[in-house]
Amino acid sequence: MSRQAASSPRREDGTASVELIAVVPFLLLAVLAAAQIALAGHALWSAGIAARAGARAAIVGRDAKVAARRALPPSLRDGAEVSGDDGVSVRVRIPRLLPAMPQLAVGARTRMGSGDGP
């Protein structure tokens, strides 16, 4: 057996650790991106629910803006824009995981029809 073949396992002792350390930042970035996408989806879903709640309130003669704002989760109420012109529109800011990320907003709109058909 040659000396080179006998010493090769010693050369690879730390490669798994180095590879793991190199991959960890990319894994963290992927988790951060997935969590931010989940927050955006939650904000969009909540805006849709709030818009529908506002439209239902307007149909029965209540204040659509108040109902829509109350339907939002407390974390999304600050900075939410609710309008009740020709339906109910709700626009909320997406929570940011990192302060350096740009501030984005999503919104939903519900129209109130006359009930005469589609």
- In three-state form (DSSP H/G/I as H, E/B as E, the rest C), the secondary structure along 15-67 is HHHHHHHHHHHHHHHHHHHHHHHHHHHHHHHHHHHHHHHHHHHHHCCCCHHHH
Reply yes or no on whether the pLDDT at 117 is more than 50: no
The per-residue pLDDT for range 7-32, each reduced to its tens digit, is 555 566 677 777 888 889 999 999 99
